[in-house]
Structures are given as structure tokens and as C-alpha cells.
Amino acid sequence: MTPISLRLLNPIQLSTSGTTGPTQGSSFSQLMASAVNAVGNSQQQANAAIQQAMSGQGTVTGAMVAMAEAQSTLDVADAVNNNVISAYQTIMNMPLS
């Protein structure tokens, strides 16, 4: 049986360079693209773990952990999306005078 290790993810950290938060000179679109790529990568890792478990090369537990990580990444992305939309709507409803 393969041991499973859990790692704590910092949702603010979008790059693997070891820095937290936005880096000097990075644009909002680059940060969003990085976050979307992270969601896609976690989904791909979960799919790969499921395929390995189904073929007998991986464990069901490993697949379940990968699916839980992918789901939590998607939940964070959804929450950020909802907050961005809410902030946009708040700004658009502000009076001009």
C-alpha cells in the first residue's frame, strides 16, 4: 500500500517560485490565467489517479484524495469568481455624483 501525504495549500500562492501574493509586474490577467491553470491541473491529476485506480496501478484511496483536492480547488475558484462578480456589481451600482 502506498502512503498518502497531504500538503497544505496556500490559496494566495499562485506561482511555484516560492513567493506569496502577486509578484512585481504581474498583471491581473496573468494571475487569473495561473489560477485557471491550477484548477485544470488538479482536475487532470484527479482524472489520472482515477484511471490508475481503475487499471490497478493506483489505490482507490489515492484517487479519492486527488478528487477531494480537485474539488476543493474548484470550490476556491468558484468562491473567488463569485466575489469578483459581486465586487463588479457593487462598483457598477455606485452613483456617479
Q: Do the beta carbons of residue 11 and residue 76 sit within 8 Å?
A: yes
**Residue whose cell numbers read 474539488:** 71
The rounded distance, in Å, linking the Cα atoms of 67 and 73 is 10
For 8-59, how does the pLDDT look when each residue is reduced to its tens digit (9 = 90+)? 555 555 444 545 555 566 788 888 888 889 999 999 999 999 999 999 999 9
Model-wide pTM > 0.85: no
Every domain of the chain and the residues it spans: 30-92
- The grid coordinates of residue 24 equal 512585481
Residue 82 confidence (pLDDT) above 70: yes
- Strand ranges in the chain using DSSP code E only, listed in sequence order: none
- Given this model, what pLDDT does residue 26 score? 75
